[in-house]
Structure 1
Amino acid sequence: MADESYRTATVQGKEVPYDPEQLRKISEHPCYSDKACHAFGRCHIPVAPKCNIQCNYCIRDFDCVNESRPGVTSKVLSPEESLDLVRRVVKDYPYVKVVGIAGPGEPLANPETFEALRLVHEEFPHLIMCISTNGLVLPESIEELAKYDVGNVTVTLNAIDPAIGEKIYSWVEYNGKKYHGREAAELLLSQQLKGIEMAVAKKMFVKINTVYIPGVNDEHIPEIAKKVGEMGAFTFNVIPLIPQYKFAGITPPTPKEKREMQDRCAPYIKQMRHCARCRADAIGKLGQDVQSCVYREQGK
């Protein structure tokens, strides 16, 4: 008889056994469950300003209240300020079950990220800990993430062909050296794939974000979905390009084109179809952010 403490979740049409705590990291995480997004919320703590790669679509603004997109926050917090923020949020908004770090830079390139994870996890061990990363230093960060019970990891993977990747990234900085062109793309991809493999082996739930860039990686996206599905990633999120920086002149995909791309990827991996392209300081349910209220009260 199967152990009744285990239940299953359907992943790519297969019933996969998860223990109750693993199931909670799906069922209460608004990004990993389309049902959870209506009932539960997340609190992003913006403690990570520095980035170790430069994407050709990315501009990070640290003091911008009128934009809702990744890489934006009203302010960068210290780990201690982040803990105070989480205390306030879980008290005033008990439906918030997830604490995530998504920037505004690369979380794993900032030591403040790990200090914030430690502080929050020690005081609120029941909260689901989540990280979003470009994957460059994910392999060497896996053990520390596991130490603080980070069970949900999002990796932005825009290409599995370095010939395409070099069109997307201006440079990659690794171990104190800056790489460009094909060399940068090859290094980043190698680290991303290694990190995803290690995260899956640690039984972390891996979500893949892929920016849909017409004329650059669009025809390549189903290949990415197939690869990460085979590696054991849990879900796949197609994110339409926001035209800015070096890709400011590219027309983004329409909602119809996005849906069609998701349908092309769906045979390989579960699709996240409810993404809200959250800010690095987002708080609340997806599409129902309350961070302006929280920060206003905190500042009094």
Structure 2
Amino acid sequence: MTLKTHPCFSEAAHLKYGRIHLPVSPDCNIQCAFCKRGINKIDQVPGCAGRVLTPREALDILGRALELCPEITVAGVAGPGDTLATDHALKTFLLIQEAYPHILRCLSTNGLLLGERVREIKEAGVNSITVTINSITAEILNEINEFVIYHNQILRGLEAQKLLIKSQLSGIRKATEETDAVIKINTVLIPGLNDGEVGDIAQAAKEAGAVMHNIIPLIPQQKMADRRRPDCEELHRAKMAASHYLDVFHHCRQCRADAAGIMGKNLDITKQLYGEDAPAPDVFSHG
């Protein structure tokens, strides 16, 4: 995959090319304390969308989006739930691969099932994978994730977090070995919690096969509503720590799961795709 036309991977491309997020994944298999998933047209945060599409509806929306904005080069799935918790995202990518083979296919996941679904990811022609890794220390992750649902079993505590960390890193390694997808990681930076291990996260991810790191400031909400966002200096330190191991994003703004358009030009076509009452946020892709 070339990164030159991927607006979420290239600072130059995000001024010229567009992307669309297709909200086809309804369920998630972990619960982050800061995550606010929802079906609404108000909240300008990741995990929210105006509605959940079927794979066929998503293909139709993509076709309409390409008519409105031919500069779109990437179709991604980043929610509202996890892309691998159901089959909807992979079915969508298969449809896109057949109908629009020139469109890059981008998948964002928490990584719990990444290793188990690598074969399907390859068959669907996924070009890039983003894995959100917020900690590689079980004790810290236990304060970030409330539970993990693994094969219909709800797991809590340190064993749940150890399973998630192991699955993320082994999944990245397997995806690197068995697909041609470029792998990026996301980390939500939480002051006083995981800010001291960003370099360690980047190192572990690089050793597994990732090539890029996107560090996202915490949005204080849900059970982390009483925490604060990291300031500019804290973000800078975290990015510098990660940069010893991976290329680091410097142009990311968190977005909804149904965003569409050219981010660098603030060209958003969400209203035209979903109706006049849909949001038109000035935001950028987080995955």
Q: How does 1:1-300 map to 2 (within 5 A)?
A: 22=1, 24=2, 26-63=3-40, 65-201=41-177, 202-286=179-263, 288=266, 289-296=268-275
Larger Rg: 1
Structure 2 Cα separation of the partners of residues 152 and 242 of structure 1: 25
Q: Which residue identity does 1:294 align to in structure 2?
A: L
TM-score by length of 2: 0.92
Q: Identity over aligned residues, as a percent?
A: 39
Q: Which residue identity does 2:90 align to in structure 1?
A: F
In the other structure, the counterpart of 1:8 is none
- SS for the counterpart of 1:251 is coil
- Do the aligned partners of 1:29 and 1:37 also contact (CA within 8 Å) in 2? yes
- Do the aligned partners of 1:108 and 1:137 also contact (CA within 8 Å) in 2? yes
Q: CA deviation at 1:66?
A: 3.0
Q: CA deviation at 1:296?
A: 1.9
User: Cα deviations across residues 32-79 of structure 1 (Å, max 9, x unaligned)?
Assistant: 11111111111111011110000011111111x233221011111111
- Do the aligned partners of 2:72 and 2:261 also contact (CA within 8 Å) in 1? yes
Consecutive unaligned residues in structure 2, runs of 5 or more: 279-287
Q: Cα RMSD over matched residues?
A: 1.5
Q: Which residue identity does 1:71 align to in structure 2?
A: G
Q: CA deviation at 1:279?
A: 0.9
Task: Give the count of matched residue pairs.
Answer: 275
User: Cα deviations across residues 97-133 of structure 1 (Å, max 9, x unaligned)?
Assistant: 0000000001111222222111111101111001000
Q: CA deviation at 1:193?
A: 0.6
Consecutive unaligned residues in structure 1, runs of 5 or more: 1-21
- SS for the counterpart of 1:219 is coil
Q: CA deviation at 1:258?
A: 1.0
Q: CA deviation at 1:161?
A: 1.3
TM-score by length of 1: 0.88
Q: CA deviation at 1:231?
A: 2.6
- Do the aligned partners of 1:41 and 1:98 also contact (CA within 8 Å) in 2? yes
